[in-house]
Amino acid sequence: MNITLKQAEKMIAAAKNKATAIDTKMNIAIVDAGANLIAFARMDGAWLGSLDISIKKAKTARFFDMNTGVIGELSQPGGSLYNIEHSNGGLITFPGGVPVIDDNGNVVGAIGVSGSSVENDHAVAEAGASAL
Amino acid sequence: MNITLKQAEKMIAAAKNKATAIDTKMNIAIVDAGANLIAFARMDGAWLGSLDISIKKAKTARFFDMNTGVIGELSQPGGSLYNIEHSNGGLITFPGGVPVIDDNGNVVGAIGVSGSSVENDHAVAEAGASAL
Amino acid sequence: MNITLKQAEKMIAAAKNKATAIDTKMNIAIVDAGANLIAFARMDGAWLGSLDISIKKAKTARFFDMNTGVIGELSQPGGSLYNIEHSNGGLITFPGGVPVIDDNGNVVGAIGVSGSSVENDHAVAEAGASAL
Amino acid sequence: MNITLKQAEKMIAAAKNKATAIDTKMNIAIVDAGANLIAFARMDGAWLGSLDISIKKAKTARFFDMNTGVIGELSQPGGSLYNIEHSNGGLITFPGGVPVIDDNGNVVGAIGVSGSSVENDHAVAEAGASAL
């Protein structure tokens, strides 16, 4: 019911490959079913401020079992979840966080990626999540 | 002048029944007149991130003695309470927090519910508050 | 691999019975395997400051899979874990936190109790943990 | 002047090997010259509370460019750095944090390890630091 370190490392390797393929430098974080960090990697030259963002994206994706960008659509001014980011010690609700689901449909953790455009961040997170 | 634990447990039971009736999984928090937690329950499979949100909703409702959604209408960009969520260690100002009022009209605490749409969250909070 | 809400409520009921039997008023917190709160109860008249302590005791017991008092013996001045309490947003390392272990020997969560002497806190936590 | 991700991963691999060789399960964190996380790994079954401690040990070692245990000797009651742990968002000053020094004698980062006795934590940190 949890991601193992071996699986987390495999996800990070796949995410790094994707990041390199699209010429970006990423921070990549993997959390388990309890939203606690299992593994993290910051690629050389990646934005320093994206360190915390990648971890918060992974936590946010597991907190609500959905892609972070979906929450961001609802947390805009006037939206039903406006300013939800003030909970849980700080959420990040733009794309780049993706839940990881096992063969039985259980959410077993999440991956968060930050370091480029949100489209690139999401693409790298998807590549990592798909590696499992 | 305060909700007892027995009353808080009755409110949680009513909220759980309502949550089950509408096929949702909720985090439910009850605070007293001092805005301090009395009782809390996280239903199996409920969103992990809603834990903190349910407590913040209960506190927010008691902090201002009104439904959380009412505050959210005033905290929008341009509104009179813009970004009030930055106070008190983080407020949640969308629906799901409801003050609890005794027979004499005194606010004796509040209930906060999170785990589904804000409409469902509010309905379950109302069911809990009405049980008193 | 996790405590259910039903089990958590059973643990809280057992802890409350024990607390009443020894004439104390307790804050009782149950966390799951991820150290996240499942259920909480503050008995009428229990110390307000024990609210946070009970939750921190439960988290501490799960963080290190041992009774909180064991850590406290090592965190004294001159001890090998001196000032470990500064980690994890604040630990509580005196007695009253007890891990909960399932039939297979897995730690599935923990209970934290605060509101009286540490001996009484521990006795009530044990009563709660044993109810599972 | 900084540890690369490749070097950090090499350090983590060496630390994991040492941890396995002495039959322990560790949290391992590597920070750069700016005391910011580069890489992290939590071995399966390692204490959850050691996650934060390993990161704080790595930061503490880089903050003062010395082994964490050396600071702990000075932070005891009556010592010259009594309660220094209150600074920097929380320090950990018992053994397990070791600065990483390049061939020119510059501190380029640090490693922090937590999950067993402080002697084991330090031995695994040394193994990681030596891998560079």
Phi, psi of A74, deg, nearest 5 = -95, -10
Average pLDDT, chain A: 97
CA–CA gap between residue B6 and residue A40 (Å, rounded): 45
Nearest by CB: A82 against B49, B72, B117? B72
The ipTM estimated for the assembled molecules is 0.96
* Among A84, A104, B51, residue whose Cα is nearest residue C5: B51
In a mutational test of the C interface, the residue from D85, D114, D116, D122 whose CB has the highest number of chain C CBs within 10 Å is D85
pLDDT at C1 over 80: no
List CB contacts of B30: < 8 A, sequence separation 6 or more.
B3, B8, B11, B12, B37, B38, B39, B40, B58, B100, B109, B110, B111, B128
Closest chain C CA to residue A35: C34
D8 neighbors D39 (Cβ within 8 angstroms): yes
Alpha-carbon torsion A54, A58, A64, A66, what sign?
Answer: positive
In a mutational test of the C interface, the residue from B42, B55, B108 whose CB has the highest number of chain C CBs within 10 Å is B42
The per-residue pLDDT for A39 is 98
Phi-psi region at A48: left, alpha or beta (left = phi > 0; alpha = psi -120 to 50): alpha
In a mutational test of the C interface, the residue from D94, D114, D118, D119 whose CB has the highest number of chain C CBs within 10 Å is D94
Show which subunits contact D, needing at least 3 CB pairs below 8 angstroms.
A, C
CA–CA gap between residue B73 and residue B64 (Å, rounded): 14
Question: Which residues of chain D are modeled with pLDDT < 50?
Answer: none
Average pLDDT, chain B: 97
Question: D93 to chain C: which residues are within 8 Å by CB?
Answer: 82-83
Domain CATH code at residue B110: 3.30.450.150
pLDDT at C132 over 90: no
**Beta strands D107-114 and A27-32, pairing class:** unpaired
Closest chain A CA to residue B95: A80
Q: Please, how many CA atoms are within 13 Å of residue A118, restricted to the half-sphere of its CB? A: 13
In a mutational test of the D interface, the residue from A11, A37, A56, A108 whose CB has the highest number of chain D CBs within 10 Å is A37
CA–CA gap between residue A47 and residue B108 (Å, rounded): 48
The count of structural domains within chain C is: 1
The per-residue pLDDT for A1 is 76
D104 neighbors D111 (Cβ within 8 angstroms): no
Query: Which residue(s) pair with D27 in the sheet?
Result: D42, D114
pLDDT at B87 over 90: yes
Per the CB < 8 Å rule, is A35 touching C36? Answer: yes
User: In this structure, what token pair is assigned to residue D54?
Assistant: 């390993």
CA–CA gap between residue D114 and residue D130 (Å, rounded): 17
Per the CB < 8 Å rule, is B5 touching C37? Answer: no
DSSP state of D104: T
The per-residue pLDDT for B40 is 98
The per-residue pLDDT for A12 is 98
User: In this structure, what token pair is assigned to residue C45?
Assistant: 């008249």
CA–CA gap between residue D127 and residue D125 (Å, rounded): 5
User: How far is residue D2 from each of residues B22, B128, D101, measured CA to CA in Å?
Assistant: 55, 56, 10
Per the CB < 8 Å rule, is A36 touching D43? Answer: no
Are there at least 3 beta-carbon pairs closer than 8 Å between A and D? yes
Question: B94 to chain A: which residues are within 8 Å by CB?
Answer: 80-84
Helix (H) or strand (E) holding B130: helix B118-130
Are there at least 3 beta-carbon pairs closer than 8 Å between C and B? yes
Q: What is the least distance, in Å, from the CA of C121 to any CA of chain D?
A: 22
The per-residue pLDDT for B132 is 87
Question: B39 to chain C: which residues are within 8 Å by CB?
Answer: 39-42
Nearest by CB: A37 against D9, D40, D43? D40
For C52, other C-beta atoms within 10 Å of its C-beta total: 16
Domain range for residue A98?
5-130
Per the CB < 8 Å rule, is C42 touching B5? Answer: yes
Question: A2 to chain C: which residues are within 8 Å by CB?
Answer: 1
- The tens digit of pLDDT for each residue in C94-129 reads 999 999 999 999 999 999 999 999 999 999 999 999
Per the CB < 8 Å rule, is A41 touching D38? Answer: yes
- A with B: how many residue pairs have Cβ under 8 Å apart? 56
User: How far is residue D63 from each of residues A101, D34, D108, measured CA to CA in Å?
Assistant: 39, 9, 11
Q: What is the 3-state secondary structure (H, E, C) of chain C?
A: CCCCHHHHHHHHHHHHHHHHHCCCCCEEEEEECCCCEEEEEECCCCCCCHHHHHHHHHHHHHHHCCCHHHHHHHCCCCCCCCCHHHCCCCCCCCCCEEEEECCCCCEEEEEEEECCCHHHHHHHHHHHHHCC
- The tens digit of pLDDT for each residue in C20-35 reads 999 999 999 999 999 9
CA max distance for chain A: 43
Alpha-carbon torsion A8, A60, D39, D84, what sign?
Answer: negative
Burial of C95 (0-12, 13-18, 19+ CB in 10 A): buried
DSSP string, B36-72: -EEEEEE-TT--TTHHHHHHHHHHHHHHHTS-HHHHH
Per the CB < 8 Å rule, is D37 touching A51? Answer: yes
The per-residue pLDDT for D23 is 98
Nearest by CB: A80 against B50, B83, B118? B118
Q: What is the least distance, in Å, from the CA of A111 to any CA of chain D?
A: 14
Closest chain C CA to residue A89: C89
Question: A47 to chain D: which residues are within 8 Å by CB?
Answer: none
User: How far is residue C26 from each of residues B35, C14, D106, measured CA to CA in Å?
Assistant: 18, 12, 54
CA–CA gap between residue D68 and residue D64 (Å, rounded): 9
Question: C82 to chain D: which residues are within 8 Å by CB?
Answer: 72, 75-76, 93-94
D65 neighbors D93 (Cβ within 8 angstroms): no
The per-residue pLDDT for A132 is 87
- The tens digit of pLDDT for each residue in C48-90 reads 999 999 999 999 999 999 999 999 999 999 999 999 999 999 9
Phi-psi region at B53: left, alpha or beta (left = phi > 0; alpha = psi -120 to 50): alpha
Per the CB < 8 Å rule, is D40 touching A44? Answer: no
- A with C: how many residue pairs have Cβ under 8 Å apart? 13
